[in-house]
Chain A
Amino acid sequence: MELNNVAFWTFSSLAVLSAIGVVFFRNIIYAVLSLISTLIMVSGLFFNMGAELIGALQIIIYAVAIVVFYVLVISTVPEDKGQTVDVNYMLVSLPVGFLIFIELAYVALYGAWKSNTGMFTPEVVKEMGNVKAVASMLFTKYLFPFEVASVILLVAMIGAIIIGRKDHVLDEEA
Chain B
Amino acid sequence: MEILGTVIGITIKSLIFIVGMFLAAAYLTLVERKFAGHVQQRPGPLHVGYHGLLQPIADALKVLTKEDLVPDNADKFLFYLASLLAFVPSIMILAVVPFGEPFEIFGFTIYPYISDVNVGLLLALAFGSISLYGVIFAGWASNSKYPMIGGLRKAAVLIGYEVALGFAIAGPIMQAGTFSLKGIVEAQQGLWFIIPNILAFVVIIFAVLAETGRTPFDVQEAEAELVGGYVTEYSAMKFGLFPLAEWYIATFVLSAITVILFFGGWNPLPLLGWLPIPGMVWFFLKLFAVFMFFLWVHWTLPRYRVDQITELAWKVMLPLALANIFIVAIWIMIFG
Q: Chain A: residues with CB nearer than 8 A to chain B?
A: 2-3, 29-30, 33, 36, 40, 52-53, 55-57, 59-60, 63-65, 68, 71-72, 75-76, 79, 129-131
- Which residues from A are CB-within-8-Å of B229? none
Contact between chains at A68 and B159 (CB < 8 Å):
yes
6 interchain pairs, CB-CB under 8 A: A29-B140, A60-B125, A60-B126, A68-B133, A71-B137, A79-B143
Contact between chains at B152 and A72 (CB < 8 Å):
yes
Contact between chains at B136 and A79 (CB < 8 Å):
no
Q: Chain B: residues with CB nearer than 8 A to chain A?
A: 3, 6-7, 75, 78, 81, 117-119, 122-123, 125-127, 129-130, 132-133, 136-137, 139-140, 143, 148, 151-152, 155, 159, 162, 166, 178-179
A65-B162, A75-B140 given; name 7 further pairs at CB < 8 Å: A2-B3, A53-B118, A53-B119, A60-B122, A68-B155, A71-B133, A71-B155
Q: Are A36 and B133 CB-contacts (below 8 A) given A52-B117, A56-B126, A68-B159? A: yes
Q: Are A60 and B129 CB-contacts (below 8 A) given A3-B7, A29-B78, A130-B118? A: yes
Taking chain B's interface residues, is the majority helix, strand, or loop, or is none over half, making it mixed?
helix
A75 to B135, CA, bound (A): 12
Q: Are A52 and B119 CB-contacts (below 8 A) given A60-B125, A68-B136? A: yes
- Which residues from A are CB-within-8-Å of B117? 52
Closest to B166 in A: A60
A86 to B53, CA, bound (A): 60
- Which residues from B are CB-within-8-Å of A63? 126, 130
A68 to B130, CA, bound (A): 9
B250 vs chain A, min Cβ distance (A): 15
Closest to A72 in B: B155
B113 vs chain A, min Cβ distance (A): 16
- Which residues from B are CB-within-8-Å of A55? 119
Task: Name the one of B3, B81, B159 contacting A3, with C-beta atoms under 8 angstroms.
Answer: B3
Q: Are A71 and B122 CB-contacts (below 8 A) given A2-B3, A63-B130, A131-B179? A: no
A76 to B156, CA, bound (A): 14
Contact between chains at A71 and B136 (CB < 8 Å):
yes
